[in-house]
């Protein structure tokens, strides 16, 4: 992945997070600048801590036919929210789960609209 693709992914994730904050998901982000910071933190947490959590959760994920992966993504989403001031989850883990699913859907739609991935 080159720097241009990385910047596009960061901007798309920022826009997705900002859209999610405007939907009734329980995810609150103070402004687009906080969405930019949140997307960067989410990417770093997902790159550094995500693989460890995914490996540790692999047996449960296997037993639930992959459904526990949604919980793992919610945990990563929640960690990012805990690290960024101005990024809040109104309903706790439920907002993290809904936000993680919504992020996946909206990111996918935006990347497809832009012709990436």
Confidence of residue 1 (pLDDT cuts 50, 70, 90): confident
Which residues 6+ apart lie within 8 Å of 103 measured at CB?
A: 13, 16, 17, 20, 77
Q: State yes or no: pLDDT of 117 exceeds 90.
A: no
Let me know: does 79 contact 117? Beta carbons within 8 Å. Answer: no
Global confidence as pTM: 0.94
Question: Which range (51-55, 56-60, 102-106, 113-117) has the least confidence?
Answer: 113-117
**Secondary-structure percent of the chain, ordered helix, strand, coil, rounded to 5:** 75, 5, 20
CA distance 100 to 77: 6
pLDDT at residue 116 in the model: 84
């Amino acid at each position: 992945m080159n720097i241009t693709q990385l910047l596009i992914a960061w901007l798309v994730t920022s826009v997705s997070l900002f859209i999610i904050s405007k939907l009734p998901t329980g995810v609150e982000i103070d402004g687009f600048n906080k969405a930019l910071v949140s997307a960067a933190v989410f990417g770093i947490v997902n790159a550094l801590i995500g693989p460890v959590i995914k490996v540790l959760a692999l047996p449960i994920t296997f037993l639930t036919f992959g459904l526990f992966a949604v919980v793992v993504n919610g945990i990563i989403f929640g960690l990012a929210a805990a690290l960024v001031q101005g990024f809040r989850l109104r309903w706790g883990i439920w907002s993290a789960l809904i936000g993680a699913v919504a992020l996946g859907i909206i990111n996918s739609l935006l990347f497809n609209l832009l012709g990436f991935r």
